[in-house]
Structure 1
């Protein structure tokens, strides 16, 4: 299809103002074509076959951009220690401080610790049992204070219902909640005829932290 250029002659009233002479249509057409040819840049044509022979073509894909709202979206954070204390989520209500309510938890713990220690047979390796006890979770165990720097704690016994970094909370048989510090206290745990003595200073960690820690057996638990 041929290209046609539209040329409009200069009006007569502008000829005298501009001081130009009107050109013939043929000369005007030649000038216009020459001007366009020199002014317009034509995109170079590439031979596709030649490109494939001499250049590497990388086929890739762009990752979808995330919405700004998703990028700025903050991760949900849990409650801090101060907020937990205000909400009293760690406090056991007086009506729930009953020994018999936690007996099912004790039964579950007995099964858990038996499986963890491979049955707790008389032939069990004491060092193996020691390592298992150091990393075990004691929620539900019946513990008894056998030695303490504070004499009033000695003899206290009950089901462990809460363990914190520095204290044990137990429910006694007379339905009382007692808080026993771990430091400077020695506890005994009886399970299937085995009596283990636990040094509280070795347990001054949260149960989740203790399970991942490597301990060196130095007589901290006596069987």
Structure 2
């Protein structure tokens, strides 16, 4: 097989790697044996002809592993607390900064409740509101087991599983527990009473939950 190209490893590299180049006779014998085993149905003459016109690369390709890719691991609750991801900086605790959010929320909630018309079905509105996102709403505590919370009013800036965080007009950040508290929200001509116990879920979880309809809205 005159077409086999020999390239010998230099002496220094050969000693370093612990290998040595094969001579032409050994290389030809290996190539013939390899091709005969790899192409058992092909005649030797055809292989010889193919080798005379094509360059064949003899290398091993590792098969790709087929399997599920691991999802990137997110931060756990402890890590989020340590990084203070959910803490609002003092310079951002300004009522005025959240007024644009409140205007967006008013448009969002009216659209969600199909316009909030006087003839709207109260039960339908109630179901919509129970699953709504209240970030940006102005909440007022009307009842609470802790009297010091009653009367507090502010824009909801953060909702967690068991608490509401609101910014008051005095630029104070107040943390209100949902349990044992009742909040009111005014939307156009509607006054909604939110019972905190019904909201002891994250807003994302609440949107998928089925609620039993009870009298939680005053018109």
Report the TM-score when normalising by structure 1.
0.68
Secondary structure of 2:108's counterpart equals: helix
Matches of 1:130 and 1:156, distance apart in 2: 23
Which residue is equivalent to 2:105? 109
| Count of residue pairs brought into register by the alignment | 158
Residue from 140, 151, 154 that aligns with 1:158: 154
Secondary structure of 1:95's counterpart equals: helix
Residue from 59, 84, 87 that aligns with 1:88: 84
Matches of 2:81 and 2:122, distance apart in 1: 40
Residue from 187, 209, 220 that aligns with 2:183: 187
Structure 1 residue ranges without an equivalent (≥5): 1-64
Per-residue CA shift, 1:144-195, capped at 9, x if unaligned? 0000010000000000000001000000000000000000000000011211
Which residue is equivalent to 1:67? 64
Per-residue CA shift, 1:48-73, capped at 9, x if unaligned? xxxxxxxxxxxxxxxxx9724x7485
RMSD over aligned Cα atoms: 1.6
Structure 2 residue ranges without an equivalent (≥5): 1-61
Secondary structure of 2:154's counterpart equals: strand
Matches of 2:63 and 2:113, distance apart in 1: 50
Matches of 2:119 and 2:202, distance apart in 1: 31
Matches of 1:222 and 1:210, distance apart in 2: 21
Larger Rg: 1
2:195 is aligned with 1:199: yes
| Structural mapping, 1:97-176, within 5 Å | 97-176=93-172
